[in-house]
Structure 1
Amino acid sequence: MPRFLSIAAFECQHRASWTMMDAVAQTRSGIQFIEQERAFDASPDGPEAELADRLVGRWYVELPRSSKTEILQVEELLVGTSLIDLNGEARRLLQASSADELAGASLARFVAMTSRPAMAELLEKARVGSVEVTHVCLLTTEGAPVGIRLLAARTGEGDDRLVLVGSESSLPDAALDELIKNEERYRRLFQRMPIALWRVDPRGVKPLLGDARDAGVTDLVAHFNRHPELLDLAMDSITIAEVNDLTVQLFGGRSGVDFIRPIRSYWTARPDTLRRVIGARYRGLPQYTEETQVCGIDGRVVDVVMSMAFPPPDDIDGDCLVGMIDITDRRQAEAQLRELQDEFAHAARISMLSELTASIAHELRQPLAAITTHGDATMRWLATEPPAVDRAVKGLEGILKATERASAIIQRIHRMAINEAAQCTSVDVNAAIADTALFVKHDLQSRQVALVLNLEDGLPPVFGDEVQLQQVIHNLIRNSAQAIAEGQCSRRCVTVSTARQGDHIEIVVEDTGPGIRPEQAGRLFTAFETTKRGGMGIGLTLCRSIVTSHGGTIEPDMSFCDGARFRIALPLQVSP
C-alpha cells in the first residue's frame, strides 16, 4: 500500500477544525500538505501509522484510462474507477470485512447518487494535480449512507492512481434530503404493495436464541419439539411493528394499530410454521418461504404463501420483513380439481371393470363352484345312516372358505367401483401389488401372458390411497398385456418388481412387448393420445395424476430395449 501517513496525521490533527474551515482554506491547506507528503518517508510501523489507520480512512483508486484533456461523464468516470486497496478505517466506514473483499470493485458502487457529481469533480481535479476537499455521502456494503469529508491527490505512481483521504462527518444536506425522500418512497411502496406486508421486531427472542447457542443446540426445530414452552415464549416475545393496508383488509382489522401485538394470535392454527421460521433464522438463512395458514383479527383462517426476509447475521437487532399472498382461491380450485380427478379415476375404474367382466366372472365361478360341491357333499354325508357328521363338518368348512374367497373378490370389486374421495392410509406396496395380480390373473391367462412378481421383502409402507395405487399398477400391467397380444410377440411376460431406493419405494413394470418408439415418448402422458385400437388415451394420464398426487414420479425407461419399462417412485411414509 502506498504511504500517505502524513496525510493521515494531518487529518487526525485537523478533523475537528474541518467543519470550521471555508472551502478556500481547506484547499490551500490540502495543497501545502500534499507537497509536504511527497517528501515524507515515515516508518509504517510507528504509532503515527497505527493511529492514522484507526482514525482516518484511505482509499487507493485507479481511474479509467483517458487523455488529460478528455473530460469523462460522471457515471462513466465513477463506474470506470476501481478500488485498489483501503486501510482499516476505510474498511470500517464501508463495513467491509477485508480489503480483498472490495479489491477491483467499481467506485460507483459506494457513492450515493446525490454525491456523484461532487465525487467526479474531485477525481477529475486530482487527476490534473489539483487538491480539494469535498463533503460526500458514501454507501456501505449494505447500502447504508455515511457522510465523509474527503480530499484526493495523486499517489506519485502515475496520473491514474489516486488516494482518497477522509474522515466520518455528518451527512451532506443533499444526502439528508434524499434519505427523507427515500423514506417517504419506502412508506408509499410499503403501503401500496399488492401483497400483505408485516415489519416484525424479533429482538425479544434474542435471549432465547443466545441461550440455545450457549447450550450447543444445532437443530432449533427439534429443540422446540422437546421444549414446547420455549416456542410459547418465542410467540410472546416477537412482535409486529408495522403492517400495510392490504394486511388490514386481508385479515379483518379496522386499522394497522389492531395488529401491533405479539405474533402468537396469528399462528394458533399453524404454530409449526413459526417453529420452522425461527429455525431458519437460527441457521443464518437469508429468507424462508412456506405455504401456511394465518389467523386473522376477525377469527378467519386464511391460506397464504408466506415469505420472510431476515436481516444480515451481523444485524442482530434488525427487523424482519414478511410478505403474504392470499391463496384461498387457489386452494379452493385445487380442491375442486381433486374432486374432478377422483371422478375421472372412478369413471376409469368403472370402464376397467366392464372390460374385466370375464375375469370377474371367472374369479367368482371357482368359489361358487366350490360352495356347490361342498354343499352337495355335506347333504350326502348327513343323509347317511348314521349321519357322517365329521365329514359333513369338513364340507361345511370348505363352504366357509369358498364363501370368504368370494367375499374377498366382491370387496375388491366394490372398492374399485365405489365413488369416494381418496382415503390415504399406510399402504403395504407388496400386498397391494399381490392383490392386483389376483385381479388380472385370468385376463393375462386369456392373452397367454405370464405375470412374474419380484417383490423385495421387508419394504416399509408408503402413505396413500391403496385403491388408487392399485389402479396405477393394474393399468400398467393391462397395457403391457395388450401390447404383447397385439404385437404377437413370441416372449409373453410382464414383470413387476419392487425395491427400496433411499427414501423412496421403486416399482418397476416391464414387459417383452414391442416397446415404446422414441417419437412416442413425449406424448405418453398426454390425454387422449393412444396407439391402441379402441383406446381412449386416458390410462397413463390418470396414472401420472395419481402418482403425482402421492408425491411420486412415473417415467418410461427409454434405455430398456427388450420391451417397455416404467419406473414409479413413491416416498416412504414419514413417521409422526
Structure 2
Amino acid sequence: MSIDASLDLARDSSLFHSMPIGILRLSAKDAWKVIVDLRATEKRSGAFELNQDVSCALGNACLIAEANPSACVLLQVKDPAAIAKAPIASILSEDTLKRFTEGLHQLFRGQNAIVYDGSLTIVGGGEHQVAFNLWQTQREVAQDDIYLSFSSLRERISLEQAKDGLQSDLARSARVSLLGEMTASIAHEVNQPLGTIVASAEAGLRWLSRDEPDIAEVKLLLERITKNGKRAANVIATMRALASNKKSERLPTDINSVIEETILLLRTDFAKRQVTLRLDLSPTLPPVKADKTQILQVIVNLALNAAQAMADGQAWNRTLCIRTRRDGADVMVDVEDSGPGIDLHVRERLFESFFSTKETGIGMGLAICRSIIEAHGSRIELQSTPHLGARFSFALPAEHAQTNG
C-alpha cells in the first residue's frame, strides 16, 4: 500500500473500516522500546540477532489497537473488541511471526513497507494462508502506529495448483506420445528377450529329455532365461514409469542408471537409424536430487531428437554421445550428436511451445523438457555448429551425503 493511502487511513477511519482487505492498526510503542534496547546491546556487543526469543518479545510488545471488518472475517471474530489489545503474536504462526519482526526492524530502520506471505492463526483454531503488507504512516501523523494488512491466498494457491496439474498432465501426455513414437523399438526390445527365453526353455527340455540329462547345460539355459526375463521386465518398468501419472517427487537419483534406462528404450531405434552410441559416464558421480521419471523423459527426448536429426539430415557419421560429468556442486549431462547442426533462426524458437521442424510433430517435446529442467533449478544450454552437430546440456544439483561428525 502506498504512503499516501496509509496517511488517508490514519486520518479517515471510514476508509479504514470500508477496505475490502483485512487491516490491523497496531500500537508499536513498546516494540520500538524493545528494538532500541536491542540496538544498544548491538553497539556494545557487536551482535544483533532476531532469534526466537527476540521475535516473541517483539510480537508480544506489538498490540492490536483496532481491526477492520474484513480482518474480523478472515480471523473469524464476531466482535473486534475480542482481539483489541491482544499481542500480534497471538494471531501469527511461529514462522510468520519471525517474518513480521524482521519487517518491524526494517520499518524502524526507515523502510516504507514490507510484503511477505505467511499464516494467520484463526481465533478458535486453524490457519489461513495470506499475503501480508506491513507499513507505517509518517511519524508526525501517528508516531507509534503501524498497519498490517492481509488478504487470502486461497485463490492464488488454487490457481497455482491448477497450473501445476495442467503442466503435469501435459508432461504425461508428452511421455505417452514419446512411447507412441518408440512403439516398434520397444516391441523389439521386449520380443527379443522373450524369443531367447522360449528358445532356451525348449533347449532345456531337450537336454532334460535325454537318457542322461545334462544338468550343467540346463543350468546355463536357466541362467540365460533369468537374464532375459529381467531385461524384458526392465524395459516394461521403464515404459510404465514414462506412462505413469504419479505426483512429482525429487529423490536422490543415480543419473547414470537413468541414462542406461534410456538406452534400453532407444537401442533398437538407434540401430534402425544407423546411429552409433558412445557413452562417457563418469563413475564417481554423487546422486542428484531429481524426479527420475521427468529426467528420463528429458534424456529420451533429447537423444531421440538427435538420432532423428542425424538420420533426416543424412549425416554419414552418425554418432550420438551421452556424457555425464561433475561441475562444481552440480552434475552435468550432455547429449551431443554429429548431425547437421541447428539453424540460427530455428534455434531461437526451438523451445517454444507448438514449434516443430517435423511434419508430424506437435512441438511440445522440447518445451516440456525446458520446463522440467527449469523446475529443477537449471536450464538447457544449446551449442550448435553447422554441419558438425549440436550439444544439449543441463545441470542437476548433487545430493550431498550427510556425514556424522
Instruction: Return the TM-score normalized by structure 1.
Output: 0.57
What do the CA deviations read for 1:4-44 (whole angstroms, capped 9, x no partner)? xxxxxxxxxxxxxxxxxxxxxxxxxxxxxxxxxxxxxxxxx
What do the CA deviations read for 1:385-439 (whole angstroms, capped 9, x no partner)? 4433344334323322222222111111111123333233333333222322222
Q: 1:266 aligns with which of 73, 91, 94?
A: 91
Amino acid at match of 2:345: E
1:424 to 1:204, Cα distance in 2 relative to 1, 3 A: farther
**Contact 1:198 / 1:242 at 8 angstroms: preserved in 2?**
yes
1:542 matched to 2:368: yes
In the alignment, the residues of structure 1 paired with residue 154 and residue 123 of structure 2 have an alpha-carbon distance, to the nearest angstrom, of 17
Q: 2:228 aligns with which of 402, 405, 410?
A: 402
Amino acid at match of 1:345: A
Gaps of 5+ in 2: none
In the alignment, the residues of structure 2 paired with residue 251 and residue 503 of structure 1 have an alpha-carbon distance, to the nearest angstrom, of 45
1:491 matched to 2:317: yes
Please give the secondary structure, in 1, of the residue aligned with 2:321: strand
Amino acid at match of 2:382: P
In the alignment, the residues of structure 2 paired with residue 386 and residue 526 of structure 1 have an alpha-carbon distance, to the nearest angstrom, of 68
1:432 matched to 2:258: yes
Mapping of residues 284-295 of structure 1, within 5 Å: 286=111, 288-295=114-121
1:484 Cα offset (Å): 1.3
Mapping of residues 11-410 of structure 1, within 5 Å: 184-185=10-11, 187=13, 190-200=16-26, 201=28, 202-203=31-32, 206=35, 213=42, 220=50, 239-260=63-84, 261-268=86-93, 271-278=94-101, 286=111, 288-297=114-123, 299-309=125-135, 321-410=147-236
In the alignment, the residues of structure 2 paired with residue 311 and residue 572 of structure 1 have an alpha-carbon distance, to the nearest angstrom, of 47
Aligned CA RMSD, in angstroms, stands at: 3.8
1:535 Cα offset (Å): 1.0
What do the CA deviations read for 1:529-558 (whole angstroms, capped 9, x no partner)? 211121111111221232233333234346
**Contact 1:509 / 1:565 at 8 angstroms: preserved in 2?**
yes
In the alignment, the residues of structure 2 paired with residue 464 and residue 393 of structure 1 have an alpha-carbon distance, to the nearest angstrom, of 41
In the alignment, the residues of structure 2 paired with residue 352 and residue 400 of structure 1 have an alpha-carbon distance, to the nearest angstrom, of 29
Please give the secondary structure, in 2, of the residue aligned with 1:553: coil
In the alignment, the residues of structure 1 paired with residue 9 and residue 161 of structure 2 have an alpha-carbon distance, to the nearest angstrom, of 43
Please give the secondary structure, in 2, of the residue aligned with 1:254: coil
1:463 matched to 2:289: yes
Amino acid at match of 1:356: M
In the alignment, the residues of structure 1 paired with residue 239 and residue 326 of structure 2 have an alpha-carbon distance, to the nearest angstrom, of 30
1:251 to 1:419, Cα distance in 2 relative to 1, 3 A: same
Amino acid at match of 1:246: S
1:195 to 1:360, Cα distance in 2 relative to 1, 3 A: same
Which residue of structure 1 aligns with residue 238 of structure 2?
412
**Contact 2:9 / 2:15 at 8 angstroms: preserved in 1?**
no
Please give the secondary structure, in 2, of the residue aligned with 1:489: coil
Amino acid at match of 2:95: D
In the alignment, the residues of structure 2 paired with residue 413 and residue 321 of structure 1 have an alpha-carbon distance, to the nearest angstrom, of 56
In the alignment, the residues of structure 2 paired with residue 309 and residue 499 of structure 1 have an alpha-carbon distance, to the nearest angstrom, of 49
1:447 to 1:294, Cα distance in 2 relative to 1, 3 A: farther
**Contact 2:99 / 2:116 at 8 angstroms: preserved in 1?**
no
In the alignment, the residues of structure 1 paired with residue 293 and residue 128 of structure 2 have an alpha-carbon distance, to the nearest angstrom, of 32
What do the CA deviations read for 1:142-191 (whole angstroms, capped 9, x no partner)? x9xxxxxxxxxxxxxxxxxxxxxxxxxxxxxxxxxxxxx97753645544
**Contact 1:197 / 1:244 at 8 angstroms: preserved in 2?**
yes
1:378 to 1:199, Cα distance in 2 relative to 1, 3 A: farther
Gaps of 5+ in 1: 1-142, 144-180
1:328 Cα offset (Å): 1.3
Please give the secondary structure, in 2, of the residue aligned with 1:564: strand
| Larger Rg, first or second structure (1 or 2) | 1
**Contact 1:511 / 1:564 at 8 angstroms: preserved in 2?**
yes
Please give the secondary structure, in 2, of the residue aligned with 1:292: strand
In the alignment, the residues of structure 1 paired with residue 255 and residue 131 of structure 2 have an alpha-carbon distance, to the nearest angstrom, of 34
Please give the secondary structure, in 1, of the residue aligned with 2:380: strand
1:387 to 1:318, Cα distance in 2 relative to 1, 3 A: farther
- Quick check: 535-544 or 448-457, which moved more? 448-457
Amino acid at match of 1:343: D
1:529 matched to 2:355: yes
**Contact 1:209 / 1:282 at 8 angstroms: preserved in 2?**
no
In the alignment, the residues of structure 1 paired with residue 300 and residue 335 of structure 2 have an alpha-carbon distance, to the nearest angstrom, of 10
What do the CA deviations read for 1:77-108 (whole angstroms, capped 9, x no partner)? xxxxxxxxxxxxxxxxxxxxxxxxxxxxxxxx
Amino acid at match of 2:332: E
In the alignment, the residues of structure 2 paired with residue 468 and residue 305 of structure 1 have an alpha-carbon distance, to the nearest angstrom, of 32
Q: How many residues align?
A: 385
In the alignment, the residues of structure 2 paired with residue 217 and residue 561 of structure 1 have an alpha-carbon distance, to the nearest angstrom, of 62
1:343 to 1:396, Cα distance in 2 relative to 1, 3 A: same
1:234 to 1:458, Cα distance in 2 relative to 1, 3 A: farther
**Contact 1:452 / 1:495 at 8 angstroms: preserved in 2?**
yes
In the alignment, the residues of structure 1 paired with residue 232 and residue 73 of structure 2 have an alpha-carbon distance, to the nearest angstrom, of 60
1:470 Cα offset (Å): 1.0
1:505 to 1:308, Cα distance in 2 relative to 1, 3 A: farther
1:559 Cα offset (Å): 7.7
In the alignment, the residues of structure 1 paired with residue 10 and residue 103 of structure 2 have an alpha-carbon distance, to the nearest angstrom, of 31
1:429 to 1:192, Cα distance in 2 relative to 1, 3 A: farther
**Contact 1:281 / 1:310 at 8 angstroms: preserved in 2?**
no
1:490 Cα offset (Å): 2.5
**Contact 1:238 / 1:263 at 8 angstroms: preserved in 2?**
yes
Instruction: Return the TM-score normalized by structure 2.
Output: 0.78
**Contact 2:379 / 2:395 at 8 angstroms: preserved in 1?**
yes
**Contact 2:323 / 2:333 at 8 angstroms: preserved in 1?**
yes
Amino acid at match of 1:470: L
Higher RCO structure, 1 or 2 (CA under 8 Å, sep 6+): 2
**Contact 2:290 / 2:396 at 8 angstroms: preserved in 1?**
no
1:368 Cα offset (Å): 1.6
